[in-house]
Structure 1
Amino acid sequence: MSTKDHLMDNAEANNLQQIRFQEEDVLAVEQREQRIAWWREAKVGLFIHWGLYSLPGGVWKGESVNAAYAEHLQLRAQIPIHEYEQIADHFHASRFDASAWVRAAKDSGLKYMIFTAKHHEGFAMYDSQVSDYSIVKATPFGRDPVAELAAACQREDMVLCLYYSHAMDWHHPDSQGNTLDYPANIGAYDALHTWEKDDNKSTRYERYLQEKAFPQVKELLTQYGPIGILWFDCGHKITDEQGKQFVDLVHDVQPGCLVNRRVRREGFGDYENTGDNQRHMRTPRRDWESIATLNHSWGYNQTDQKWRSSEDILHDMIHVVSMGGNYVINVGPTGDGEIDAKSLELLGVIGAWLHVNGESIYGSQGSPIGRTPWGRCTLKGNTLYLHVWEWPAGGKLLLPGLLNSIQKCYLLGDSPERNLPHQLLNDCGDHIIDLPTEALDSICSVVAVEFQGEIATNPKQVVVANGVSQVFGVFDGELTGETVRYDTGKKGRDNLKNWSSMQDSISWEFRVIKAGAYRVAAVYGAGDASVGGIFEIAAGDNKLVASVMQTGGEYEFQNFEIGPFYFEHLGEYTLTVRPQAICGAVLMNLKEIRLMSV
């Protein structure tokens, strides 16, 4: 993902440790609780990016456009409006079938669908009376996809949600992003503070909001029946007052319609969003949603064949849900209007897995136990669901920190439903569950653990001398200090950055349930002479000191074994990494600490 694409992702809001929420009165909280109930139950959804950009599919005049996101074609290829508009003349969408799209989502086990009613290009993918720049009026297709999707969603019991790019519109002369046709416009990457006090730019931008954005949002809320979410984007480019106007408009017209936080920033709307494809995160304190692609682009890109594996996608989904979030996977249909074969294949794997294991996802809550090396955990009622993707050697699965009495353990999808033997190891709630020799599912098998009473756990991560590497990722640690920060959490960015103060540190709490010796390793990136120093890793009476080694790049992560720890006593410990010397601008980009029994 390029830096420029990243800037359209509310990138400044990714550091979730600094979230501050607006105060809400009791009535507002009650209304939000009513709106969001269905969404909390749904847990998984489908994003669909479809627009004029889908027809060229990332290629313009025979050349692949240098843009991670194909839907940014107009901006990144610097296409004048009069040329870009001509795409509409060829937009026949002869293979579009709303029912097929909704059935694909339903067969995949997904519960809601977010469709791009208007993206940054400004083209309405519905029958807009506000602007003739629409799929109904400007293309030979001439039909209203949103109307057809609304009817299909109603038939299939799918919740229809709509994406609307409110902050940017590259077709409107007074909006943001298009300085090729309108040189005096606000630039696509211009920060809010650079123009909000500029009378000319702010006045013209307000005209765009009043002439197009607000009226089109009202159209979407009045023409198609109940809408589950009005999903906004790039809200970091508008003011708080403007953000509130969008929220109020949606809730005034459809009180039951959710608004996502990208309408403005943290605390706005009904729930939070991560960044695009943000795979590691600090858990926000409110309801939140993670959105992800199957390859790199959101809109269809005919040159992008770097598909994620079905294992990676399912593990990503389970990880997000185990942290209490919702997970939305994206497809970008072709300009002809069909979902490509590879996307359908990957959706099919998701659907097959959810068909067997869906009860561990739908309506579930985040994990109440510590991070485990074998997978993730969710909770629903009086059942823990253990999502096991690293099958334990010898079939002995450690369930840490469950203080309740276990009634029954069994594998979802096992027929007949055999009770798995289990035993309590100690008075800390650590259990061993005996699993079959082989996993039921090669990607992830789910063990259901039914327990008595209200859930009670010890949520600290457990370290045990069983030959398994215990990973302490930085996004699970707690930071102390003024400079060190979590990176974006996206692929290759699941590390710390800006570690420039001797007072900065990171720590994790954990438990040792079997005494013994452990090898300690640090995984980090260090680019050049401006990065380096000496750091220590400490836990209990153990302390190791090491010099930062160059890795060839700040995001070229390498695993360095530091030395041994020995835990003579069982119990709780704090693992801390802190600098002893910083020789340059920053210490290192730490990714994780690993402990493995000797």
Structure 2
Amino acid sequence: MIKRDMYMDNADAEAAEQANTPLPNDELQDRRLAWWREARFGMFIHWGLYSLLGGVWKGRTVPGAYGEHIMLRGQIPVKEYERLAESFNPVRFDAEAWVRAAKDAGMKYIVITAKHHDGFALYDSAASDFNIVKRSPFGRDPMKELAEACRKEGIKLCFYYSHSMDWHHPDSQGNTHDYPNNIGAWDSLESWVNDEDKFARYERYLEEKALPQVRELLTGYGDVAIVWFDCGHKVTDEQGQRFVDTVRSLQPDCLVNRRVRRDGFGDYGNSGDNQLHIRINRKDWESIHTMNDSWGYKKTDHNWKSVTSILHNMIDVFSLNGNYLLNVGPTPEGEFDEPSKNILREIGQWLKINGESVYGTTGSPLGKPQWGRCTTKDGLLYLHVFEWPASGRLVVPGLRNDVLSAYLLADPQRGSLVHRRLNDQDVLIEVPANPLDPNVTVVVVEYEGAIDANPVKRLLELDYVNRFGAFDGDIQGSELRYDTGKRDRDVVTNWVSPADFIHWTFRAETPGACRLTVVYGAAEGEAGGTYRVELCGERLQGSVQPTGGWYDFRSAELGTVRIPGSGTYTLTVKPDTITGAALMNLKEVRLTFLNEQEG
């Protein structure tokens, strides 16, 4: 079942969508993407009338994580929402301060909400007078000021534009409390596309407001690097292509993201909102994240993420050849709040030292090592070590090239680290007892020749638990599927068929006994059954026990299994019986080498 907020942010809609449309791949697209592939890191800015409310309407905190959805979730009538503009006077807005903050944080482009779902434009629009210049006492066009500041500082300016939904327009989607015959905010495309009246009125919105406003943004503010569309699953292929064609006709070098419609459209892909785990199906893609929970400013949202968690998430994206867009929700006065500024400052300090390992790099040729992540460029591997090895022995798995040198990127002297080959696929680097940076320390490996690497996971005998995450496994069967990949949704779910299973391939270099643990969630009265884990010719049996809920997890130790020695193996989880509505939500399987006394 699709949850409403998730459908709004594309997460489940995109997870359920398996498009077969060929992805564009041409020289012109490569030219458009060149700067974007080099940039890697950008700033998202959600700002509008909703910022004035901060998630609170008439003294009541409106349900829902996203402050920018307050008009919909609070069912605020259009006439009352319009009057908010009379109080929207962001006198502390300083475009140069915003751009400098982004630049100091190491960001290379800014995506700003020129118009969000509420229909309020943050620029002087001729297509609709529901905009900041004509309706607010501020009276200025902040997009013009932002465009000038971006040109001055060498930052790429990009516009977010909500093309599929406009809760202010009487013929668009979403607002059924003012316009009962409208397409509903959570209505599927299939539910209205053959409704002659709804389709005709929606076309009127597209032609009267959405397409004209996109043209305004592309003709009034100089070079635009990206038009960032949203909720493309709510428009038809033909409608989505019309927006792509409009952008191409006015600024051929301007990028378009896949949310203009779906995969097969636009220049690059997008994850779901705050999606921590993703199955990559596109070479170029972008992950979008907030510093707390909301995108727009929300005065009650104090759930700030740590700098460490943001850096780890960001580097995980880079290691998968993605870009990272980190959001700020400015206050109604037009400032970045202190928690946001502090996070940006610390990320900028890390990138000032370690930016070489980010900008212009491509994804990891080594897969996902247990100690962290990897990026590469120009004959160098950048090993981003999240968890420092207690033994001082950092294994670089799957690297077949000869290593010329190894050093710590943050070491001003770049002193050489002792390294040696363990076998034809693995290299050992001796690292200091403590990391140089408690968040992420980068080890640089210079190798000889064209990269020759094996991305298959290698079991590590020391320092680490070997984790096999659900999103890294391969599903076989008709019903089992990956969840959204958001926080605690990094599971395989809908395990209703006994024929469905998941498996992982891995490599081992030494024999030994491993403790095997399964991590899963199981709702009381809904989940149930038995399963087996097959590995190295052995079978370990498990029985699903209630954990409280589908996303409340427990660790079940099933016993030990013996790795016979060097080789490539398959780890498989299969049902034996399913006695509930579904077996379980499987999060991960763990293998931990035991010492001789334990084994």
Q: 1:317 is matched with which residue: 314, 317, 339?
A: 314
Deviations 1:216-253 (A, max 9, x none): 00000000011110000011111110000001110111
Q: Which residue pairs with 2:493 in the alignment? A: 497
Matched residues in 2 for 1:3 and 1:356: separation?
A: 41
Q: CA deviation at 1:23?
A: 5.6
Matched residues in 1 for 2:311 and 2:409: separation?
A: 16
Correspondence list, 1:399-478, <5 A = 399-427=396-424, 429-478=425-474
Question: In the superposition, relative to structure 1, how do residues 404 and 525 fare at CA in structure 2: closer, same or farther (>3 Å)?
Answer: same
Secondary structure at 2:178's aligned position in 1? coil
Q: CA deviation at 1:17?
A: 8.8
2:521–2:551 Cα contact (<8 Å) kept = yes
Deviations 1:498-531 (A, max 9, x none): 1111111111111111210000000000112331
Matched residues in 1 for 2:404 and 2:442: separation?
A: 17
Q: Which residue pairs with 1:120 in the alignment? A: 117
1:525–1:555 Cα contact (<8 Å) kept = yes
Correspondence list, 1:34-433, <5 A = 34-427=31-424, 429-433=425-429
Q: 1:517 is matched with which residue: 510, 513, 527?
A: 513
- Give the partner amino acid of 1:432: L
2:372–2:386 Cα contact (<8 Å) kept = yes
Q: CA deviation at 1:568?
A: 2.0
Matched residues in 1 for 2:291 and 2:497: separation?
A: 39
Q: Which residue pairs with 2:3 in the alignment? A: 3
Q: Which residue pairs with 2:22 in the alignment? A: 22
Matched residues in 2 for 1:321 and 1:465: separation?
A: 27
Name stretches of at least 5 consecutive residues in structure 1 with no aligned partner.
Answer: none
Matched residues in 2 for 1:557 and 1:17: separation?
A: 27
Q: CA deviation at 1:359?
A: 0.8
Q: CA deviation at 1:67?
A: 1.8
Matched residues in 2 for 1:270 and 1:229: separation?
A: 10
Matched residues in 2 for 1:476 and 1:228: separation?
A: 33
Matched residues in 2 for 1:268 and 1:250: separation?
A: 13
Q: Which residue pairs with 1:566 in the alignment? A: 562
Q: CA deviation at 1:285?
A: 2.5
Deviations 1:382-428 (A, max 9, x none): 0000000101012110101100000110011102110100010112x
Question: In the superposition, relative to structure 1, how do residues 17 and 188 fare at CA in structure 2: closer, same or farther (>3 Å)?
Answer: closer
| RMSD across aligned positions (CA) | 1.2
Matched residues in 1 for 2:428 and 2:31: separation?
A: 40
Deviates more, 1:522-531 or 1:193-202: 522-531
Deviations 1:321-341 (A, max 9, x none): 101111100000001000000
Secondary structure at 1:274's aligned position in 2? strand
Matched residues in 2 for 1:17 and 1:562: separation?
A: 35
Q: Is residue 485 of structure 1 aligned with residue 481 of structure 2?
A: yes
Secondary structure at 1:338's aligned position in 2? coil
Secondary structure at 2:146's aligned position in 1? helix
Q: CA deviation at 1:149?
A: 0.5
Question: In the superposition, relative to structure 1, how do residues 406 and 251 fare at CA in structure 2: closer, same or farther (>3 Å)?
Answer: same
Question: In the superposition, relative to structure 1, how do residues 455 and 19 fare at CA in structure 2: closer, same or farther (>3 Å)?
Answer: farther
Secondary structure at 2:395's aligned position in 1? strand
Q: Which residue pairs with 2:573 in the alignment? A: 577
Matched residues in 1 for 2:137 and 2:443: separation?
A: 53
Matched residues in 2 for 1:14 and 1:278: separation?
A: 12
Deviations 1:542-577 (A, max 9, x none): 221111111111110111101101112211101111
- Give the partner amino acid of 1:60: W
Matched residues in 1 for 2:383 and 2:350: separation?
A: 15
Question: In the superposition, relative to structure 1, how do residues 19 and 200 fare at CA in structure 2: closer, same or farther (>3 Å)?
Answer: closer
Question: In the superposition, relative to structure 1, how do residues 384 and 484 fare at CA in structure 2: closer, same or farther (>3 Å)?
Answer: same
2:45–2:112 Cα contact (<8 Å) kept = yes
Deviations 1:470-518 (A, max 9, x none): 0000111111100000000000100011111111111111111121000
Matched residues in 2 for 1:17 and 1:122: separation?
A: 27
1:13–1:266 Cα contact (<8 Å) kept = no
- Give the partner amino acid of 1:43: R
Matched residues in 2 for 1:88 and 1:16: separation?
A: 38
- Give the partner amino acid of 1:301: K
- Give the partner amino acid of 1:11: A
Deviations 1:169-226 (A, max 9, x none): 0111111111111111111111111111001100000000000000000000000011
Secondary structure at 1:244's aligned position in 2? helix
Matched residues in 1 for 2:98 and 2:90: separation?
A: 13
Deviations 1:421-456 (A, max 9, x none): 0010112x2111011111000000000000000000
Secondary structure at 1:225's aligned position in 2? coil
Deviations 1:30-78 (A, max 9, x none): 2111111110110110000000101111111111111210000111111
1:467–1:597 Cα contact (<8 Å) kept = no
2:44–2:111 Cα contact (<8 Å) kept = yes
Question: In the superposition, relative to structure 1, how do residues 517 and 467 fare at CA in structure 2: closer, same or farther (>3 Å)?
Answer: farther
Matched residues in 1 for 2:485 and 2:440: separation?
A: 23
2:529–2:543 Cα contact (<8 Å) kept = yes
1:467–1:596 Cα contact (<8 Å) kept = no
4+ residue stretches of structure 1 with deviation over 6 A? none
- Give the partner amino acid of 1:55: L
Secondary structure at 1:521's aligned position in 2? strand
Matched residues in 2 for 1:270 and 1:119: separation?
A: 21
Secondary structure at 2:586's aligned position in 1? strand
Matched residues in 2 for 1:16 and 1:373: separation?
A: 30
Q: Which residue pairs with 1:546 in the alignment? A: 542
1:70–1:300 Cα contact (<8 Å) kept = yes
Matched residues in 1 for 2:241 and 2:286: separation?
A: 20
Matched residues in 2 for 1:542 and 1:444: separation?
A: 38
Matched residues in 1 for 2:348 and 2:314: separation?
A: 12
**Equivalenced residues, count:** 593
1:43–1:325 Cα contact (<8 Å) kept = yes
- Give the partner amino acid of 2:451: I
Question: In the superposition, relative to structure 1, how do residues 473 and 263 fare at CA in structure 2: closer, same or farther (>3 Å)?
Answer: same
Question: In the superposition, relative to structure 1, how do residues 527 and 152 fare at CA in structure 2: closer, same or farther (>3 Å)?
Answer: same
Q: CA deviation at 1:534?
A: 1.1
Matched residues in 2 for 1:11 and 1:238: separation?
A: 16
Q: Give the TM-score of the pair, scaled to structure 2.
A: 0.97
Secondary structure at 2:75's aligned position in 1? coil
Matched residues in 1 for 2:580 and 2:294: separation?
A: 37
Secondary structure at 1:131's aligned position in 2? coil
2:7–2:13 Cα contact (<8 Å) kept = no
- Give the partner amino acid of 1:489: G
2:391–2:462 Cα contact (<8 Å) kept = no
Sequence identity (%): 55
Question: In the superposition, relative to structure 1, how do residues 62 and 17 fare at CA in structure 2: closer, same or farther (>3 Å)?
Answer: closer
Matched residues in 2 for 1:267 and 1:135: separation?
A: 35
